[in-house]
Amino acid sequence: MLMILNWLFPSILFMMGVFVFVSNRKHLLSMLLSLEYIVLSLFLLLFLYLNLINYENFFSMMFLIFSVCEGVLGLSILVSMIRTHGNDYFQSFNILEC
């Protein structure tokens, strides 16, 4: 029973993050937060899987490093979008103007 909960809980967290990412498209900041939530749920799933097979946790540290780099890249895009357009609404952002 505990083994099923170990796999079911991160999977439900991942599905909730995907649902929020798909349903909320108004602000860039809320989409970036839902992407970080998805990454954290994937990290939890990866950590549980690596502990199950008694593997080194080095790969999970590499995953955290890449997720931090992804978060920094998203925040830099958010800051540049707010500086150029004044807000983070997708309605005021046109890709052809870049």
Query: Mean pLDDT over residues 4-31, rounded?
Result: 84
SS3 27: strand
Which structural domain, as residue segments, surrounds residue 80? 2-97
Supply the CATH number for residue 86's domain.
1.10.287.3510
- In the chain, the number of structural domains is 1
Structure confidence at residue 65 (pLDDT)? 92
Region 88-94: mean pLDDT is 69
Per-residue model confidence as pLDDT tens digits over 35-84: 999 999 999 888 888 888 888 878 888 999 999 999 999 899 888 888 88
- Where residue 45 falls (left for φ over 0; alpha for ψ -120 to 50; beta otherwise) is alpha
